[in-house]
């Protein structure tokens, strides 16, 4: 059964630290207008969609405040117009932002907004926070202070269904009094509403995150990111010897590697949206582009051509996810969970004993 859907990544170019929220919002709305004109049904925005990548800066509590969303993301004056227009256009959105909870915790968060339901149907909080808590001693180093500003996500890796993106003979009526349980029968899998999962930036480098979503049947994994083009202080020994061009090339290679590898190994589509470009005119603040849509065979079906605002669009068939899941990656027949104990019990590396 064909399950075609038109999806897009909304790549966003440089956003300066002092850019007004309304200026940035206007750019996001322009990308949404373009998506509507091209018949897009699902649009994925980058990590921290509405602002510059502020974790590179050492900020006081007062300076941090303008970058945080403290009220409802769909109702705040700085963000509501995006969701209102998406509802009018009947386009679903994945949107990232810095969420401050009523308890005072701050998370690097993204939400899935369903136009059919006119509201948020799923929320994800970034789990794998990179970088450091304190800035580097070298004043010329590019900092990555997510561990300073954010709390690790507490919502886990949860897949969910999006209403109305594809024809679905198994969609339950809203009036159903006795909802069915999870779809475990293979003959019914791949016939319900589209199944999605969300990741944020550094999460895409961790295969456990993708596998957790794939085990729930995720057919599309959406990921927004802000990734430095040249950050030797974070990359380790040897990185400082790379030229700026070599460093950016390597960062783009690793970005594409995890998109393609994990899409293939989990038989799913991925949509990856970058914040990119040179923020504040400072070359060491440059972020890579590389927004792309990848199919379940690991093939790039659409990719960004620029380092600025750009819509990356592809029409895909979610039925293609079934191919790998029926053969090479038939988890039910081939996974051996009894052999994977270390993955769920150990964090750091523990080497074997030294030889005598």
**pLDDT tens readout for residues 68-118:** 998 899 999 999 999 999 999 999 999 999 999 999 999 999 999 999 999
Average pLDDT of the residues in 295-317: 98
- Which pLDDT belongs to residue 176? 45
Contacts of 218 (CB under 8 A, 6+ apart): 159, 195, 196, 197, 266, 268
pLDDT in tens, 28-76: 999 999 999 999 999 999 999 999 999 999 999 999 999 999 889 999 9
CA dist., res. 218 & res. 264, Å (int): 13
- Which pLDDT belongs to residue 188? 72
CA dist., res. 239 & res. 104, Å (int): 37
Task: Name the β-bridge partners of 5.
Answer: 316
For residue 40, the SS3 value is coil
Active site residue 276: no
Rounded to 10 deg, the angle between the 21-37 and 80-89 helix axes is: 10
CB 28 within 8 A of CB 82: yes
Q: Is pLDDT at 12 greater than 80 in this prediction?
A: yes
99, 110, 191, 201: the active-site residue: 201
H or E element: which one contains 198?
strand 194-200
Percentage above 70 pLDDT, the chain: 96
Active site residue 126: yes
CA dist., res. 161 & res. 216, Å (int): 10
Mean predicted lDDT score pLDDT of the chain: 94
CA dist., res. 52 & res. 329, Å (int): 39
CA dist., res. 116 & res. 164, Å (int): 7
CA dist., res. 146 & res. 57, Å (int): 10
pLDDT band per the 50, 70, 90 thresholds, residue 180: low
Q: Is pLDDT at 157 greater than 50 in this prediction?
A: yes
Task: Name the β-bridge partners of 99.
Answer: 69, 107
CB 94 within 8 A of CB 110: yes
pLDDT in tens, 158-167: 999 999 999 8
CA dist., res. 142 & res. 230, Å (int): 9
47, 99, 146, 320: the active-site residue: 47
What's the CATH number of domain 4-345, 3.40.50.850, 3.60.110.10, 3.40.1180.10, 3.20.20.70?
3.60.110.10
Least confident of 116-125, 216-225, 228-237: 228-237
Average pLDDT of the residues in 116-121: 96
- Which pLDDT belongs to residue 211? 98
Structure token pair of residue 294: 């990848």
99, 110, 126, 219: the active-site residue: 126
Query: On the CB side of 61, how many CA atoms lie within 13 Å of its CA?
Result: 3
Contacts of 140 (CB under 8 A, 6+ apart): 284
Question: Residue 93 phi/psi, 5° resolution?
Answer: -130, 145
- Which pLDDT belongs to residue 177? 47
Give the angle subtended at the CA of 312 by the CAs of 300 and 268, to the nearest 5°: 45
Percentage above 90 pLDDT, the chain: 87
pLDDT band per the 50, 70, 90 thresholds, residue 196: very high
CA dist., res. 18 & res. 322, Å (int): 47
Q: Where are the domains of the chain?
A: 4-345
Q: Strand 92-100 relative to strand 106-114: parallel, antiparallel, unpaired?
A: antiparallel
Active site residue 201: yes
């Amino acid at each position: 059964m064909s399950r075609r859907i038109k999806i897009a990544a909304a790549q966003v170019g440089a956003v300066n630290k002092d850019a007004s929220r309304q200026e940035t919002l206007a750019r996001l709305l322009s990308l949404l207008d373009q998506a509507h004109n091209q018949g897009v049904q699902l649009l994925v925005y980058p990590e921290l969609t509405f602002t510059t990548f502020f974790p590179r800066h050492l900020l006081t509590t007062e300076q941090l405040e303008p970058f945080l969303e403290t009220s409802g993301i769909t109702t705040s004056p700085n963000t509501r117009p995006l969701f209102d227009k998406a509802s009018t256009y009947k386009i679903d959105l994945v949107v990232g932002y810095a969420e401050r909870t009523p308890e005072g915790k701050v998370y690097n968060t993204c939400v899935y907004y369903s136009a059919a339901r006119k509201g948020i149907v799923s929320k994800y909080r970034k789990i794998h926070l990179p970088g450091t808590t304190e800035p580097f001693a070298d004043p010329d180093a590019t900092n990555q202070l997510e561990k300073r500003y954010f709390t690790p996500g507490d919502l886990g890796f949860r897949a969910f269904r999006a209403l109305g993106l594809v024809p679905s003979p198994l969609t339950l009526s809203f009036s159903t009094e006795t909802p069915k349980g999870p779809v475990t029968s293979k003959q019914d899998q791949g016939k319900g509403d589209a199944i999605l999962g969300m990741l944020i930036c550094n999460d895409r480098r961790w295969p456990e995150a993708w596998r957790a979503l794939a085990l729930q049947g995720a057919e599309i994994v959406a990921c927004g990111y802000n990734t430095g083009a040249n950050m030797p202080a974070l990359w380790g020994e040897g990185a400082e010897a790379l030229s700026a061009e070599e460093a950016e090339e390597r960062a783009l290679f690793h970005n594409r590697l995890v998109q393609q590898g994990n899409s293939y190994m989990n038989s799913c589509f991925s949509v990856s949206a970058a914040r990119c470009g040179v923020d504040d005119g400072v070359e060491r603040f440059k972020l890579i582009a590389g927004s792309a849509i990848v199919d379940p065979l690991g093939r790039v079906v659409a990719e960004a051509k620029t380092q600025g605002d750009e819509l990356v669009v592809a029409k895909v068939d979610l039925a293609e996810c079934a191919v790998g899941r029926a053969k090479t990656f038939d988890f039910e027949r081939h996974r051996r969970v009894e052999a994977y104990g270390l993955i769920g019990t150990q964090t750091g590396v523990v080497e074997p004993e030294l030889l005598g």
